[in-house]
Chains A and B, each alone.
Chain A
Amino acid sequence: MPDVLPEPPGLDIDTVIYNYTIRKETEDSVDVYVGNENAAGTGYIFREHDQWRPGSLDGTEINKVIGIGGIHRDQWGDGFIDVEGNGSVEDPRVIYTYRVDPCYNPQFDPNCPGYVTPVPDIPEVNLDDLYNALEDENVDLERKTEIAQEQNEENLDENEKKKKEEEEEQKRRYRLEKMMSASDAAALFAESQMIKQMNEIANMQANVNGYYSKSIPGGVYRDSVQLADTQLPDNRRGLRNNLAQQKLHQQMIDEQYK
């Protein structure tokens, strides 16, 4: 039966329906037993006796429904159809109808009442049985320690080196940033200068354009200079200055002969 029924543990069988066709001579008497053994003890869960008496015809089918009333799957042993007498059964079929209590075992579903969160089974270990390196004669602990120290020192050096490299990298980035910012400032200044020059050129063009638009009428331009005075006196202030320059010049020349 276990291989016939589905998996859930909380399974009760309510009803058994079986049918078959009897093969016999009309005058023969045939007894057919259909049932299931009791797996939890002796006897049967159910055992039906079909008594085909003389007069019952060959080829008659039987279709029987047996109410069981909910017997747990654990109690269902092997099923059987036994025939006694001169006859046989044909096309036998047994149907078990069941109901399932999913919480029969509360651990089957976390939603079942009484469910206990399973705790992993941690095996106990006898510490004496564990491998102890201290007792292993093939292990040279001092050498191991030495190696460990060397490794530790190497690790320290490596860490320091990494730290220095990081600092250098940080400084390099800082310098680059400064340089970039100076470069940006210069570019900004140059740009502002260029804009200023462009504005000046534009303004100059605007000023010059005024002259370009002027036209000079053609013709003869006569000399219009007139000297009202007939005598032009020397500029005395200029003379004094000129003489002073001359004197200074003379002194300088004389200096080289002293």
Chain B
Amino acid sequence: MVAVAVASTTAISFANAEQVPITGTVQSRCIIQTDTAGTYGNPNAYTLTTAAQDGGDAAVVRYDVSLADAYYAEITPPTAFSSAPNLPDQVTWAGSVSVKTVSDATGMGTYEADKLEVGDTDRYDLTATGSTWFAIESTATMGGNKAFAGGTYTAVAEAVCIAK
């Protein structure tokens, strides 16, 4: 005869919930950096322009893409001053974006020809890996042929990388 002793325990459980975070970091395969900050020339009292012949310099932005055919580059020239003295009238804005330099002629040589203009924004399909430099030109003209007041004028172009 085998005696078996059974011990029983009673557990008291409480309702509980735990939220476990899971985080991850995605490094963008599209890096944008300013290569050259532009400057406005002042060929006459009512015009500010980045045109080299008028004493200005175009801004240059660089896109480095390490994943082909995954991003669009969208660049919008300035449409307003971010800081400026009082403006006596409305300012008319004009701007353009163009491919200045590429790191791969074969893959990027037609970026400029293939770009899509949407309003003030130029969209480039970044189909190849490598670096592309875009030149941004901007011209601001004061309405009514009024003169720009003396002071410092700053405008900002926007360059973004959009995943497809």
Contact = CB atoms under 8 A, between A and B. Distances in A.
Interface residues of B, number: 16
Interface residues of A, number: 18
Interface string B57-99: 0000000000000000000000000000000000000000011
Interface in B91-125: 98-106, 109-110, 112-114
A99 interface: no
Contacts of A62: 101-105
B113 A57 contact: yes
A238 interface: no
Nearest to A56: B109
A229 B112 CA distance: 176
A169 interface: no
B110 A53 contact: yes
Nearest to A65: B103
A22 B131 CA distance: 17
B40 interface: no
A215 interface: no
Contact of A52 (B103, B105, B133): B105
A137 B164 CA distance: 105
Interface of A: 19, 22, 26, 32, 49-53, 55-57, 60-65
Interface of B: 98-106, 109-110, 112-114, 131, 133
8 contacts: A50-B104, A51-B109, A52-B109, A55-B109, A56-B105, A60-B99, A61-B133, A63-B131
